[in-house]
Amino acid sequence: MTTSRTILSTSRAPAAIGPYSQAVRVGQTVWLSGQIALDPATGQLVDGGIEAQAEQAFRNMAAVIEAAGGTFAHCVKLTLFLTDLSHFPVVNEIMQRHFVQPYPARSTVGVASLPRGALFEVEAIVVLD
């Protein structure tokens, strides 16, 4: 049995910087690739440290989710990647600016490095109505 896939993309989020899609939809489920803090207009990493980077990454993710027809309320699972786990409280605060209860499931992973020297990356699974 072959499952139909729809590749999703938007110019409101950074173009893929490798051989991947911004998101893939199968049925009502959308898998989003990780988003780092690239400015969609310039393709450059934003300045301003972890707070600016987390805000931009969530904005990028929101743009892809909106292109799929959803909102943050449709997120069922997030995975956060941080190069410094001491930034975890700041990222929690920023996440609470974008999400309301009931929150999605979430994993947080400390990593040695991220593309383009980013401090933060977020990926999501979304289930549309």
8-33 pLDDT per residue, tens:
999 999 999 899 999 999 999 999 99
Domain count for the chain = 1
The answer to whether residue 1 sits within a structural domain is no
54-94 pLDDT per residue, tens:
999 999 999 999 999 999 999 999 999 999 999 999 999 99
pLDDT tops 80 at residue 1? no
The answer to whether residue 33 sits within a structural domain is yes
The answer to whether residue 90 sits within a structural domain is yes
The answer to whether residue 10 sits within a structural domain is yes
* CB environment 18-40: b (16+ within 10 A), e (fewer): eeebbbbbeeeebbbbbbbbbee
The answer to whether residue 100 sits within a structural domain is yes
**Alpha-carbon distances, residue 109 vs 24, 34, 74, 83, 114 (angstroms):** 23, 13, 22, 9, 12
Closest by CA to 22, choosing from 103, 95, 123, 101, is 123
Residues 6+ apart with CB under 8 A from 127: 28, 29, 30, 74, 76
Domain containing 104 equals 6-127
For residue 116, name the pLDDT band (cuts at 50, 70, 90). Answer: very high
Dihedral (CA of 105, 108, 109, 111) sign:
positive
CATH number at residue 41: 3.30.1330.40
The answer to whether residue 44 sits within a structural domain is yes
pTM of structure = 0.95
Residue 2 has a pLDDT of 66
